[in-house]
A and B are shown apart, each in its own frame.
Chain A
Amino acid sequence: SQTIHQWPATLVQPVGSPLSLECTVEGTSNPNLYWYRQAAGRGLQLLFYSVGIGQISSEVPQNLSASRPQDRQFILSSKKLLLSDSGFYLCAWSVGGFDTGELFFGEGSRLTVL
């Protein structure tokens, strides 16, 4: 069966510090991978998605970046965090293809920037 893991689950970072969130998927090949951010009381905001290794599409201009060094690994990074980067970050995967389809989410990472 397929599983998805992301870490860390919780982190508190000072403004200006770097960030690295990691996500891995097991039990499937060539998935579509996504990074979402969820602010309190708001809908999920798509940050990045990837349909293959090294293929990253950015949906929102910001100080975040994403990389997909391996087929089932997706990393969200920042060189310098802003207060506005605080939120609940979710990694997700779907079956590879041109459509999104059903999403399977990781456990989430709650980031607080102070």
Chain B
Amino acid sequence: GQNIDQPTEMTATEGAIVQINCTYQTSGFNGLFWYQQHAGEAPTFLSYNVLDGLEEKGRFSSFLSRSKGYSYLLLKELQMKDSASYLCAVEDSNYQLIWGAGTKLIIKP
């Protein structure tokens, strides 16, 4: 079966750095996405990785290792507004998205 694993919940302090991990086992791989979802709202796109390595976009970076079936989302200089759920999704060989359950990130002052 296809599976995406990510921690259920994480807590971090304002101004700090946090890394959210995602491991996947899918039928093929055509890219990995990270989305941010604030409570009660729709997800919004954060990043896309299809090749190994690090993609940096402002305070957010995303890393991919296809051989390990592993990705992480790195958030720097955390702000209170970063409190949200972060969803990892993999596009499989049929070009369908397989979604993780999401990681709820709690930022404390």
Contacts and interface: CB of A to CB of B under 8 A. Distances in A.
Contacts, number: 47
B59 to A, nearest CB: 20
A22 to B, nearest CB: 16
Tier of interface size on chain B: 20 to 34
Contact of A105 (B4, B43, B95): B43
Contact of B33 (A42, A45, A102): A102
A99 B92 CA distance: 9
A43 B3 CA distance: 11
Q: Is the interface of A mostly helix, strand, loop or mixed?
A: loop
A82 interface: no
Interface stretch (B65-73, B75-83, B99-107): B99-107
Nearest to B98: A43
Interface of B: 4, 8, 30, 33, 35, 40-45, 48, 87, 89, 91, 95-97, 99-102
